[in-house]
Amino acid sequence: RRETGLLGAADSEVLFALALDRLDAGADLAGAVRGAIADVRARTGGRFCVLASDGDRLVGVRAGDTLWLRALGSGTTVASEPTDDDPAWRELADETLVTITVDGIAEEAL
- Per-residue pLDDT band for 8 (boundaries 50, 70, 90) equals low
Q: Which domains are seen in the chain, by residue range? A: 2-109 (3.60.20.10)
Half-sphere exposure of 99 (CA within 13 A, CB side): 17
Residue of higher predicted confidence among 54 and 44: 54
In tens, the pLDDT along 50-63 reads 999 999 999 999 99
What is the model's pLDDT at position 12? 82
